[in-house]
């Protein structure tokens, strides 16, 4: 009998994305909160927003994940932000926080 062991890990993809320029302040900025719909991701982005709102005045938050935006992709554990949606989000926010949890 032959036993084949398979790994559920995804193939490694090597690419580098340079970090976005650091904002001088978060005051008056719009921050995107991306919840990838895994257990606890919503709690993580909510907690980040809570701490940011305490430190910086006039901050607004836009939430992404699930079916929050009519006419937009329903983001889920299996459907993540694609290039087109990322470009659209970039016009709506000054910075983005993404959470993956479990």
Contact status, residue 63 vs residue 33, Cβ threshold 8 Å: yes
Q: What is the pLDDT of residues 18-63, one digit of tens each?
A: 888 899 999 999 999 988 888 888 899 999 999 999 999 999 999 9
What are the CB-based long-range contacts (under 8 Å, 24+) for 48-52? 48/97, 48/99, 49/97, 52/26
pLDDT grade for 102, boundaries at 50, 70 and 90: low
Contact status, residue 36 vs residue 77, Cβ threshold 8 Å: yes
Residue 37 is predicted with a pLDDT of 81
Task: Indicate whether 101 pLDDT > 70.
Answer: no
H helical segments located in 37-101: 41-55, 83-90
Across 51-77, average pLDDT: 88
What percent of the chain lies above the pLDDT cut of 70? 98
Q: Regarding predicted confidence, which is higher, 98 or 11?
A: 98
Residue 60 is predicted with a pLDDT of 97
Q: Give dist(CA 58, CA 18) in Å, integer.
A: 28
User: Which residues sit opposite 39 in a β-bridge?
Assistant: none
Q: Give dist(CA 56, CA 26) in Å, integer.
A: 6
What percent of the chain lies above the pLDDT cut of 90? 41
């Amino acid at each position: 009998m032959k036993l084949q062991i398979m790994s559920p890990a995804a193939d490694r993809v090597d690419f580098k994305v340079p970090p976005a320029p650091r904002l001088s302040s978060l005051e008056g900025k719009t921050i995107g909160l991306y919840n990838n719909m895994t257990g606890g991701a919503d709690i993580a982005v909510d907690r980040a927003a809570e701490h940011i709102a305490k430190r910086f005045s006039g901050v607004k938050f836009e939430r992404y994940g699930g079916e929050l935006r009519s006419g937009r992709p329903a983001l889920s554990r299996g459907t993540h932000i694609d290039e087109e949606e990322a470009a659209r989000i970039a016009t709506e926010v000054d910075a983005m926080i993404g959470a993956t949890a479990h």
